Amino acid sequence: MEVISGGIVATAGIKAAGIKTDKIGVAIITNEGGPATAVGAFTTNKVKAAPVEVTAKKIRKGKISAIVANSGCANAFTGELGLKNAHKMAEILARELNLNAEEIAVASTGIIGRQLPLDTIEEKIKILSKQLSSTPEASLNAAKAIMTTDKFPKEIAVKTVLEDGTEIHIGGIAKGAGMIGPRLKTATMLCFLTTDAAISRAALKRSLQEALGQSLNMAVVEGDLSTNDAVLLLANGRAKNQMIKVRSEKFQEALNYVTQEIAKMIIKNAEGATKFIEVQVLNARTKIDAKKIALAIVGSPLVKAAFFGEDPNWGRIAAAAGSVSAAMIPEKLSITYENSKGQIAKAVEKGKIIVNEGTRELLLARELLKDKELKVLVDLGIGKSKAIAWGCDLSYDYIKANAVFTT
């Protein structure tokens, strides 16, 4: 597998375009030559945005020819008019590109409770319909168009060789900086993925679910569940490989990598974040237990605050680990801090406290926590299962950004 340039358009047959002005952005992604096989995953929030409801129904048919997404307005909690406007977004693009509106997915991100500025969106769709391109700049423009509080655009592409010797590509763009909580059913966060692999819809769905389980569903900013979370994956078969009907190790490895890198980008871009934190839970009794504990640690406000203060308060980590319904024996627990240079500081080893007041280990831990990228290794010592989750610290700037978000 190799990381390549091109983002979402690294996949053969995919074109994109994006523009953002006056706080309203619009991005378009199209598949040439007809609809692609498509699967998706959406927020499990009971308050679902109109575009989520509309797209979730369309994608059940398994075919999508284009995606149109806007930033600046979530079109969530907007009633019947919101649903009509979500359909109109697709209809406008369908008219411009002579496509079937039922095969156009829609997505939105922004402030909840406001109706879509359809006139502005329609104007941008008309412009973008003439700018669709397969250049790297087109992918970057689309990634920028869906940004809200994001500090940087998020895009990635890889190529790999399948078991039958065929080279395939997977590309993607995403947005997300806040309201990130790991509860996609199958974070506001939007993620659009494309591949030229020939793969059955059933296999594609299984592959996406497996990838999300170890990537976007393991990423936490503050843990709030958005109304608009959506992940869409389109496969157009242009690589002409032998049809993937069961699990392909090579395809899964590439998809896992793409979604994990996107998850990391989202966390590194989190609102107000000064630290990127990777929590590795090791030697848990089960995989489910490992995931529960990893998510509890990265989601704990007290743990996050300690990292912001560069305070090696391992007690908060232990408390978070013990707060969920997962097997844990305190006397077997080990906690280790690691910085980006691979330097480590042991806080607890098999239940014995190593970082005490006045010890060299405490001074070392404090020094390590000054790094911008950190790992926390939590060894439960009671099994062989493991999991990784990603999170960030909780800073003053996060509070400032969200205290006046709509004003």
Q: 276-403: CATH homologous superfamily? A: ArgJ beta chain, C-terminal domain (3.10.20.340)
Alpha-carbon gap, residue 27 to 14, rounded angstroms: 13
Question: What is the residue whose two structure tokens read 């040439």?
Answer: 32
The per-residue pLDDT for 341 is 96
The predicted pLDDT at position 178 comes to 53
Which residues form the catalytic set? 188
Q: What is the mean pLDDT of the chain?
A: 93
Work out the pLDDT band at 287, boundaries 50, 70, 90.
very high
Confidence band, pLDDT 50/70/90 cuts, at residue 181:
very low
Q: Kindly give the residue spans of alpha helices, DSSP state H, lying in 174-285.
A: 201-213, 249-268
Structure confidence at residue 406 (pLDDT): 60
- pLDDT at residue number 179: 47
2-268 folds as: L-amino peptidase D-ALA esterase/amidase (3.60.70)
Strands 276-284 and 154-161 turn out to be unpaired
Averaged over 90-117, what is the pLDDT?
A: 96
Burial class (CB in 10 A: 0-12, 13-18, 19+), 360: exposed
Tens of pLDDT, residues 371-397: 999 999 999 999 999 999 999 998 888
Provide the residue ranges of all domains of the chain, joining segments of one domain with +. Answer: 2-268, 276-403
Q: How many helices (H) and strands (E) does the chain have?
A: 11, 17
Q: Identify the residue whose tokens are 């990381």.
A: 3
At residue 405, the pLDDT reads 60
pLDDT for residue 15 is more than 90: yes
Segment 13-38 mean pLDDT: 96
Overall pTM > 0.85: yes
List beta partners, residue 27.
Answer: 18, 69
What proportion of the chain, given as a percentage, has pLDDT over 70? 95
Q: Are 143 and 175 in contact (CB under 8 A)?
A: yes
Residue 185 confidence (pLDDT) above 70: no
Of the candidate ranges 111-115, 133-137, 186-190, 359-363, the one whose mean pLDDT is the lowest: 186-190
